[in-house]
């Protein structure tokens, strides 16, 4: 019971922090989405500075769980990140496409989940321990 309450509370914090997104654009052909951050954020093993990035499944034809992050113009590669599927919360507002986690003092918040626009599921990033 205590664990369930903790998970629910953590989820509320994560969704509450999702407001750092300035704007998004989706590309339905290859399931890619352009996400603009107004502050620095972290992904596994990398920090992203404020700006626009392209999030896409590495292989849209399969569901191998790998998300590819590049610059908006696709000229700079930032990360291949392992993920697993999670349900999109019913309470998630339109336009909220990421959930951010807590961070250590002086560190940018982690992108915990990416919710592709129009999809019922999101991709939860796996961070090394």
Q: Is the pTM of this model over 0.85?
A: no
Report the phi/psi class of residue 37: left, alpha or beta, with left for phi > 0 and alpha for psi in -120 to 50: beta
The mean predicted confidence, pLDDT, of the chain is: 82
Euclidean distance between CA atoms 97 and 123, whole angstroms = 10
> Which of 97, 105, 102 minimizes the C-alpha distance to 127?
102
What tens digit of pLDDT does each residue of 63-109 get?
Answer: 789 999 999 999 999 999 999 999 999 998 878 899 999 888 999 99
Measure the CA angle with vertex 129, ends 36 and 90; round to 5°.
45
Give me Rg for the CA atoms of the chain: 14
């Amino acid at each position: 019971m205590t664990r369930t309450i903790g998970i629910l509370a953590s989820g509320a914090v994560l969704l509450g922090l999702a407001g750092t997104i300035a704007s998004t654009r989706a590309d339905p052909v290859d399931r890619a989405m352009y996400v603009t951050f107004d502050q620095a954020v972290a992904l596994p093993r990398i920090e992203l500075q404020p700006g626009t990035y392209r999030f896409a499944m590495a292989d849209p034809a399969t569901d191998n769980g790998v998300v590819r992050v590049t610059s908006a113009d696709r000229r700079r590669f930032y990360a291949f990140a392992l993920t697993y599927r999670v349900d999109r919360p019913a309470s998630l507002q339109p336009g909220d496409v990421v959930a951010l986690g807590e961070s250590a003092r002086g560190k940018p918040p982690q992108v915990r989940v990416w919710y592709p626009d129009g999809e019922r599921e999101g991709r939860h990033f796996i961070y090394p321990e």
